A and B are shown apart, each in its own frame.
Chain A
Amino acid sequence: MIQVRDLTRYYGEFAALQDVSFELKEGEIIGLLGLNGAGKSTTLMILAGLLAPSSGSVQIDGTDLANHPELRARIGFLTESPPLYTEMTVTSFLRHIGRMKGMSNDKINARLPEVIRLADLAGREHQVIGTLSHGYKKRVGIAQAIIHDPKLVILDEPISGLDPAQIVEMRKVVKGLGEKHAVIISSHILSEVSQTCDRILVIGNGRLVAQGTEAELMARSGENARLVITVRGDQAAFTEWLDKSERIVSVVSKDVADGLARALVEMEGDQREDLLLEIAKAGFGLRLVEDPQDELEEIFLGLTHQEAA
């Protein structure tokens, strides 16, 4: 159990973090969301033992991290840009990190195959890190964060800079980590966090503004669910059908070529599953359902404005 209690951090006179408290259980994945400067990085750096808090505490199974630096051996941290010694091979790097985390050579040897499997690095073990692609470097970054089998794994923007195929692979890796470790992920992408995390923490102006599932956060922010839906069919007919639906608050049509119709719809509350079922029943061939890209910002702004009020 990771317990964060009243965490406060000042940079000079500026309060980057104020009275942030939350708990994280083993096997739980939580997402940390916030705009730039909200306090996400400060939170992660304190959790990783990189920064000392001005007040408050991070406790791992009841022991305070600030007074027990040896607890860093129970934490794994991947920064947005993976920290790697690029002249080393993958395994020699992981061995080095294992030793820095206090592991014996026997333990490292026993742990390496599982880490290689979890981070999906098979076949790259003896490759020099500097010659790997960005996606594989990110995996090596994850591998170094878990080589010592930590209790808490902290991943700062784990999918940034990855291509779509690598993002899918990374989701699998993160999900796999969540089976054995407590995982905290920082991200700007709500849809990514909602797919991977059990719970979301929203940070704004250094304070914990809200926490819960994506639906709970939407309800709290007063934000309606929105989707961009692409179907096979006539644009006018699809727009007319959407206009008549009682679930829909507003519709914005978007032209798509080759017999496809597309619209941005907003519904009251979260009725996404019911709406999609009805569209399919109405005979429109569902081709693509997307989250609008600006949703996160709107939820953030809604929640932070509520907090300020």
Chain B
Amino acid sequence: MNALIIAKRDLASYLQGYSAYIIIAALLLGNGVFFHAFALGAESARYSHEVLENFFYLCWGFSVATAVLLTMRSLADEHALGTEVLLRTSIVSDGEIVVGKWLAAMGMVTLYAVLTLHMPLLIFVNGKVSLAHLMVGYLGVILGGGTASALGVFCSALFRNQLAAGIIGGLLAIYMSVIAWMLADTTNPPFNDVIAYTAIFNQHFVPFMEGRIAMSSIVYQGSLTALFLLLASYILHTRRWE
């Protein structure tokens, strides 16, 4: 319940400021341009579900970027502005603070996802896709955004400087999205299996992109999200002993 108090204020702060709008607008523009160029603009004819898969491929990446860019300031900003005193002298626990920050970021990631909805709807102009595929794909996007938001909140707690949090969070997100996938292909067993397991996009989003719900991927991303939030909460707790 206390986490909702934090989430409500943070969400209002995102919506009242201009930076969240700039980030979302810029990423929506990029997402739209790439969607037009690579998903809609293919020279050969393709099935509608292939175009939708391409859309989710792009949408997942831009949603992760949205999450990292928005959350890099979540706790670092509180430290820079001195308002972390308000949080840490309240009865809201460190865990609730972290969850509240994550929920607010999730609200914005969801908003981003909703604002991309017109792109898959364009597919209906010349084709037809399953509504279930659409919903499962968006579930994957939200899961990826959730994990990236938790990663961003963790980095924001760790570094106390939003630029450092953004850079490290971005690098980790790139590793989990692309680098781990590529590394897994070029390393030998058993390391390739371990690395491949950390490749969120390749291992855990592709099924959603194709319209299949993978419970193992839901559990994996849920666990990773919980781990990042627990680590962020632990960092806040240890600050009382620094």
Contact = CB atoms under 8 A, between A and B. Distances in A.
Interface stretch (A70-78, A242-250, A263-271): A70-78
B85 A77 contact: yes
Contact of B16 (A48, A52, A73, A87): A87
B81 interface: yes
A100 B83 contact: no
A169 B241 CA distance: 37
For chain B, what secondary structure do more than half of its interface residues adopt (helix, strand, loop), or is it mixed?
Answer: helix
Nearest to B94: A69
Given A51-B240, A83-B83, A96-B5, A75 B89 contact: yes
B190 interface: no
Contact of A85 (B2, B83, B92, B93): B83
A49 interface: yes
28 contacts: A48-B85, A50-B85, A50-B240, A51-B240, A51-B241, A69-B91, A70-B91, A72-B89, A72-B91, A73-B90, A77-B85, A79-B82, A79-B85, A83-B81, A83-B84, A83-B85, A84-B83, A85-B9, A85-B83, A87-B13, A87-B17, A88-B9, A97-B86, A97-B90, A100-B2, A100-B5, A100-B6, A100-B92
Contacts, number: 61
Contacts of B242: 11, 51
A88 B81 CA distance: 14
Contact of A99 (B5, B81, B83): B5
B87 interface: yes
B88 interface: yes
B9 A48 contact: no
Given A87-B13, A87-B16, A100 B90 contact: yes
Interface string A13-44: 00000000000000000000000000000000
Interface in B86-133: 86-93
A102 interface: yes
B88 A50 contact: yes
Contacts of A84: 83
A175 interface: no
A81 B241 CA distance: 23
B91 A102 contact: yes
Contacts of B87: 100
